[in-house]
Each structure stands twice: as structure tokens, then as C-alpha cells.
């Protein structure tokens, strides 16, 4: 266990931190929950500023933190509420672009400079006028932040190019999922049960997970699925996620007779992966640490993914990587793996070894706390 950090800048009381969360990203919300629990266990006072919906889902108070409702908005009322909470903080830590921008506004104009740590879990993306606005917000945030933590090297490099004074690699651990309730269900029996529920008995099961958004590359996945229809037996592809492209994707699936099922949002992703023969990640853009890639490795499921963003750094040589947007390469990689049990077993073993190199939740908390101490402890007089 990491030693408790119990000092404020003056060494008189526990360190008081505020975590600012927009509430729109599941990965950052789960990270803040994990971080809050670890910091509280080390004697740090934590207040999480997030919408009510995030508190209901992630139970920050159950982790020992205080929760203050701050809407996912940068209007004057929300900024004023955040400013009030931050007034007593020794350090503020914001997660994601919009939450970070609110934190910058809340801390601006104060006589006492409060350190601001920003964690970049991903990079906001948009086209046209909205894209230009996002880049302006990024520059404002990165120049104001005391330290920027990027979840991948790509995000760190981007932060430095955009004007961050101090940008460091800060990998975010995959929070442990809660243990399932005790019961008679044997984990070894769960795989055939899930496969039977999906209608996959004597055919391969391919699983993709993520919101139905353009950057996820599901159009490429459907293009590749046309080739898999020729296999005997043809694999079934299931996609767990919801989003704006559902209608368009469903239209293609039905019109082209593709062996693909859109499952919608699911809370049993580990069970789906445990039942899968392969996990697929066809993203065109993935600058952060892919949750699917991490969960696939923990579930010992071979992964086929686009070689884009933070994916190569995260998976090393433990996955089949293909050029992003290349449906033919994706289709060929899947066909080869389905025909090669030895290669699938090799990827399972490599994936387990690669996952063992990733930071644990405890190590992530320890790294963050060391930065907090660095920024808040007084500099000794020479």
C-alpha cells in the first residue's frame, strides 16, 4: 500500500482536492470513481463535481468522496458553483476537455493560484466550425493547466504541440468491474449459455463494443462482413453499443443480408467477450486507451484492431493490427485467425503477458498522488 499523503501545502490538514467531471464519458467517469476511492483511502479529502446522473451511475459518495452537482455546461451558474467548491481546494483535477474548460473559468481571476491538473483521456473531435471551437478550447485549457496527463503518448505529444507547459504520460488503469453476485452459475458454463442466447452454437462469434459513431469504423466492419458470408460456417458479428448511426447500419445489415446483429447498449460486456472467438476494434480514431482492447486481453480473447492512435502502444505484439479503414485487411485477418487455432492461442498468451504490464488501479492512484504532492508541498528554503 502506498503511504498516506496527509499534508496540505502548509502541512496542517489533509490534502483537499476537487475532481471535475463532465459526466459524458464512461471511461473518465470510471477513472474518477477509482481515483476517488484510492485517494480517500490514503487520507486525501476528495470532492467530485459532476452531474447528478454521473453520481447515480458511479456512486462517488460510496467511494468516500463528497459529491457536488455541477451541470455539464459552461454557463455562468455552473461556473459559479464550481468556483465556490474550488475556493477551499488545495488542488483541482479536471478530466476531459469540457470539464477542464469549466475548471479554468472557475479558477481564473483568483489571487491565490490553485494548481490545476488535467487528464486527457481522449481528444475531442469534430469538423468545421465546431472543430475550430474545440481547438480554441484545447489551447486555452492546455496553456492554463499546471500539469497535463495524457493517457497515451499520442495525447501527450498533442498536448505539448498545442501549448502545454508540462505534459506527462499518465496511463489510466482499467477499473475492476464489480464481482457478480454469488450464485450457482459456473463461469465455465456461462460461455455456452451466452452463445446460445445469441443464437451462436456451431459458428464463430465475433464481438465489437463501442458507440455507433462514425469514428468507430463500423461501416468498415460491415464491408468486411460481406466476405465472411462465404465462410462455412459463417461467423456472427455482434456489436454492443448505441449511437446516431444505428438506423444507417441496420439498413445496410438488412439490405445486404450481413451476419451482423446490433445489440444496443449492454451491461454484460465481459460475458460477451468471454463467449467470443475474436474481438474486433475497427476504429479510424482511437487516441486514448481502448477499454475494449483492455477487456479483451483480460478475457483472453484474441483481438483484431486498426493500427491507429494509442492502439499499437497499448497492445504491442499481442493483437492482429490492420490499417485503419481497410475492410479487405480486416476481413483477411479474421479469416486467417478463424482458420488458425494455434495463432489464436498464441495471441491469448501474448495478451495476458501484455496486460500484466499495464498499470493497476493502485499504481495509477500512486502516480497521481505523487504529482499532487509535487504541486502542493512547499518548496524548502535554501
Q: What is the DSSP string of 131-179?
A: HHHHHHHHHHHHHH-SEEEESSHHHHHHHHHHT-SSEEE-PPP-PPPPP
Residue 155, pLDDT score:
93
What are the pLDDT digits (tens) for 117-126?
A: 999 988 877 7
Which residues, other chains included, contact 28 with Cβ-Cβ below 8 Å and sequence gap of 6+?
21, 22, 95, 96, 119, 121
In angstroms, the CA 183 to CA 212 distance is 34
> Are 33 and 364 spatial neighbours (Cβ–Cβ below 8 Å)?
no
Residue 3, pLDDT score:
47
User: Is the pLDDT score of 96 beyond 70?
Assistant: yes
3-class DSSP state of 320: strand
Where does the pLDDT of residue 109 fall: very low under 50, low under 70, confident under 90, or very high at 90 and above? confident
User: Is the pLDDT score of 8 beyond 50?
Assistant: no
In angstroms, the CA 5 to CA 231 distance is 58
Residue 381, pLDDT score:
53
Which residues, other chains included, contact 185 with Cβ-Cβ below 8 Å and sequence gap of 6+?
none
Residue 10, pLDDT score:
45
Where does the pLDDT of residue 286 fall: very low under 50, low under 70, confident under 90, or very high at 90 and above? confident
Mean pLDDT to the nearest integer, 140-169: 94
In angstroms, the CA 3 to CA 96 distance is 28
Residue 372, pLDDT score:
97
Q: What is the mean pLDDT of the chain?
A: 89
Residue 141, pLDDT score:
95
Total-model pTM: 0.86
Residue 61: C-alpha distances to residues 51, 55, 57, 167, 366 (Å) = 13, 8, 11, 30, 21
Residue 157, pLDDT score:
94
Which residues, other chains included, contact 353 with Cβ-Cβ below 8 Å and sequence gap of 6+?
318
Where does the pLDDT of residue 6 fall: very low under 50, low under 70, confident under 90, or very high at 90 and above? very low
What are the pLDDT digits (tens) for 49-87?
A: 999 999 999 999 999 999 999 988 778 888 999 999 999
Poorest-pLDDT segment among 9-13, 129-133, 303-307, 358-362? 9-13
Helix (H) / strand (E) element for 208: namely strand 205-209
> Are 13 and 94 spatial neighbours (Cβ–Cβ below 8 Å)?
no
Query: Phi/psi of residue 218, each to 5°?
Result: -70, -20
Where does the pLDDT of residue 379 fall: very low under 50, low under 70, confident under 90, or very high at 90 and above? low
User: Does residue 309 come out as left (phi exceeding 0), alpha (psi in the -120 to 50 range) or beta?
Assistant: left
Strand 45-50 to strand 116-120: parallel, antiparallel, or no bridges (unpaired)? unpaired
User: Among 379, 364, 375, which Cα is nearest to 15's?
Assistant: 375
Mean pLDDT to the nearest integer, 225-244: 94
Q: What does DSSP assign to residue 241?
A: B
In angstroms, the CA 326 to CA 217 distance is 10
Residue 382, pLDDT score:
54
Residue 23, pLDDT score:
61
Task: Between 128 and 300, name the one with better pLDDT.
Answer: 300
Residue 9, pLDDT score:
45
Q: Cell numbers at residue 252, please?
A: 445496410
Mean pLDDT to the nearest integer, 2-16: 60
What are the pLDDT digits (tens) for 200-225?
A: 988 999 999 999 999 899 999 999 99
Where does the pLDDT of residue 182 fall: very low under 50, low under 70, confident under 90, or very high at 90 and above? very low
| Sheet with 205-209, side-by-side order of all strands | 260-264, 236-240, 205-209, 278-281, 303-306, 320-322
Amino acid at each position: 500500500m502506498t503511504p498516506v499523503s496527509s499534508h496540505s501545502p502548509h502541512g496542517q490538514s489533509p490534502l483537499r482536492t476537487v475532481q471535475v467531471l463532465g459526466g459524458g464519458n464512461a471511461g473518465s467517469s470510471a477513472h474518477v470513481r477509482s481515483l476517488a476511492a484510492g485517494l480517500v483511502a490514503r487520507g486525501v479529502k476528495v470532492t467530485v463535481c459532476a452531474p447528478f446522473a454521473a453520481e447515480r451511475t458511479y456512486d462517488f459518495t460510496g467511494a468516500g468522496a463528497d459529491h457536488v452537482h455541477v451541470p455539464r455546461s459552461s454557463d455562468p451558474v455552473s461556473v459559479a458553483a464550481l468556483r465556490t467548491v474550488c475556493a477551499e481546494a488545495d488542488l483541482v483535477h479536471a478530466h476531459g476537455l469540457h470539464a477542464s474548460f469549466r475548471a479554468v473559468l472557475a479558477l481564473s481571476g483568483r489571487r491565490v493560484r490553485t494548481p490545476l491538473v488535467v487528464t486527457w483521456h481522449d481528444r475531442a473531435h469534430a469538423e468545421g466550425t465546431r472543430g475550430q471551437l474545440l481547438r480554441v478550447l484545447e489551447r486555452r485549457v492546455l496553456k492554463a493547466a499546471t500539469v497535463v496527463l495524457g493517457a497515451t503518448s499520442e495525447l501527450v505529444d498533442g498536448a505539448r504541440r498545442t501549448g502545454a507547459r508540462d505534459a506527462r504520460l499518465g496511463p489510466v488503469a482499467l477499473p475492476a468491474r464489480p464481482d457478480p453476485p454469488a450464485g450457482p452459475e459456473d463461469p465455465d458454463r456461462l460461455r455456452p449459455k451466452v452463445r446460445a442466447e445469441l443464437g451462436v452454437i456451431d459458428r464463430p462469434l465475433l464481438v465489437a463494443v463501442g458507440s455507433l459513431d462514425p469514428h468507430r469504423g463500423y461501416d468498415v466492419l460491415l464491408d468486411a462482413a460481406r466476405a465472411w458470408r462465404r465462410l462455412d460456417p459463417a461467423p456472427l458479428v455482434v456489436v454492443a453499443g448505441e449511437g446516431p448511426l444505428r438506423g444507417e447500419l441496420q439498413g445496410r445489415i438488412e439490405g445486404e443480408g450481413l451476419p451482423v446483429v446490433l445489440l444496443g447498449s449492454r451491461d454484460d460486456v465481459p460475458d460477451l467477450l468471454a463467449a467470443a472467438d475474436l474481438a474486433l476494434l475497427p476504429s479510424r480514431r482511437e487516441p486514448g486507451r481502448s477499454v475494449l482492447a483492455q477487456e479483451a486481453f483480460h478475457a483472453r480473447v484474441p483481438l483484431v484492431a486498426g493500427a491507429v492512435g494509442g492502439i499499437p502502444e497499448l497492445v504491442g505484439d499481442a493483437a492482429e493490427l490492420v490499417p485503419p479503414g481497410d475492410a479487405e485487411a480486416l476481413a483477411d485477418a479474421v479469416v486467417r485467425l478463424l482458420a488458425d487455432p494455434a495463432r489464436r492461442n498464441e495471441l491469448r498468451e501474448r495478451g495476458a503477458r501484455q496486460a500484466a504490464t499495464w498499470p493497476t488501479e493502485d499504481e495509477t492512484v500512486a502516480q497521481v498522488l505523487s504529482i499532487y504532492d509535487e504541486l502542493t508541498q512547499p518548496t524548502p528554503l535554501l
